[in-house]
Structure 1
Amino acid sequence: MSEALDLIQWPAFIASLTAAWLVASSAKRRRNIGFWIFLFSNMLWVVWALHTSATALVALQVCLAVLNVRGLFKTDPPT
Structure 2
Amino acid sequence: MPNWIDYLQWPAMAVTLYAAYLVGSKRTDRRIFGFSMFVLSNVLWIVWGWHDEAWALIALQVGLFAMNVRGIVKNE
TM-score by length of 2: 0.95
Q: Secondary structure at the match of 2:3?
A: helix
Q: Number of matched residues?
A: 75
Matched, 1:54 2:34: no
Could you say which residue in structure 1 is the equivalent of 2:70? Answer: 70
Could you say which residue in structure 2 is the equivalent of 1:43? Answer: 43
RMSD: 1.0
User: How far off is 1:74 after superposition?
Assistant: 1.1
User: How far off is 1:43 after superposition?
Assistant: 0.1
CA distance in 2, matches of 1:37, 1:4: 22
Q: Among the aligned pairs, what percent are the same residue?
A: 48
Over 4 Å off, 4+ runs: none
CA distance in 2, matches of 1:3, 1:24: 35
